[in-house]
């Protein structure tokens, strides 16, 4: 199935999604990679607020390349999500609803996704230009010293994504190969 979602999302928006579904995501998406996640944890440890509203938010694990003249953003392909596994459960427990990246996640992240009714969506690796074409505006929110890893606020329209982990325990990395083999030999 294909769904259209607009951020910020509420849990009932995500409840219908299943591993393998496609999503066209619009609205605000924040960017953060491992260096920014580490700083976010430091803020939380000090009892300080995050640089964006976390409730219902979508975080894209991306470090875009510099934009060329006339562009909003450079290539914006996903980075490996596993580098954020140590930080993701805490953010999900605080209300983050959507993670966007590529690659498998650990068991703690899977449990946090289910516990919080969240989802993990995959952006197509190697398609940074496609992802960048969905970005309609960009604002650097904080930590410019991190360069491409600074936290950014993106406005996106119809960003094409695939549900990898759903709120019900579905994991496309587990179910996908089985479904493929069944279809091929069925």
Q: Please pick, among 30, 32, 37, 52, the residue that the annotation labels catalytic.
A: 37
Alpha-carbon torsion angle 59, 138, 71, 147, nearest 10: -70
What is the reported pLDDT for 15? 97
Pick from 49-53, 142-146, 180-184: least confident: 180-184
pTM of the model: 0.94
180 confidence band (pLDDT: 50, 70, 90): low
State the Rg of the chain over Cα: 16
**What whole-number percentage of the chain has pLDDT above 90?**
81
Domain CATH number, residue 18:
3.20.130.10
Is the predicted pLDDT of residue 177 greater than 80, yes or no? no
- Give me the number of domains the chain comprises: 1
CA 87 to chain centre: 13
pLDDT digits (tens, 9 = 90+) for 12-50: 999 999 999 999 999 999 999 999 999 999 999 999 999
CA nearest to 88, candidates 60, 125, 128, 126? 60
Give rounded-to-5 percent helix, strand, coil for the chain.
Answer: 35, 30, 35
Q: Which residues pair with 112 in a beta bridge?
A: none
Coil, strand or helix at 74: coil
What is the reported pLDDT for 149? 93
Enclosing domain of residue 59: 2-185
**Is-catalytic flag, 37?**
yes
């Amino acid at each position: 199935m294909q769904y259209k979602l607009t951020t910020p999302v509420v849990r009932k928006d995500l409840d219908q999604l299943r591993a393998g579904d496609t999503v066209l995501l619009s609205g605000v998406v924040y960017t953060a990679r491992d260096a920014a996640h580490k700083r976010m944890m430091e803020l939380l440890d000090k009892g300080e607020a995050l640089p964006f509203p976390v409730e219902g938010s979508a975080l894209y694990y991306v470090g875009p390349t510099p934009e060329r003249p006339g562009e909003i953003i450079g290539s914006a392909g996903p980075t490996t999500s596993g580098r954020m596994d140590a930080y993701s459960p805490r953010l999900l427990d605080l209300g983050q609803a959507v993670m966007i990246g590529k690659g498998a996640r650990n068991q703690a992240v899977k449990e946090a996704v289910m516990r919080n009714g969240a989802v993990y969506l995959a952006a197509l690796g190697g398609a940074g230009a496609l992802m960048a074409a969905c970005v309609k505006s960009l604002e650097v929110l904080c930590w410019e010293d991190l360069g491409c890893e600074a936290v950014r606020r993106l406005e996106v329209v119809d960003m094409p994504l695939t549900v990898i982990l759903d709120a019900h325990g579905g994991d496309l990395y587990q179910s996908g190969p089985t479904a493929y083999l069944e279809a091929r030999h069925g």
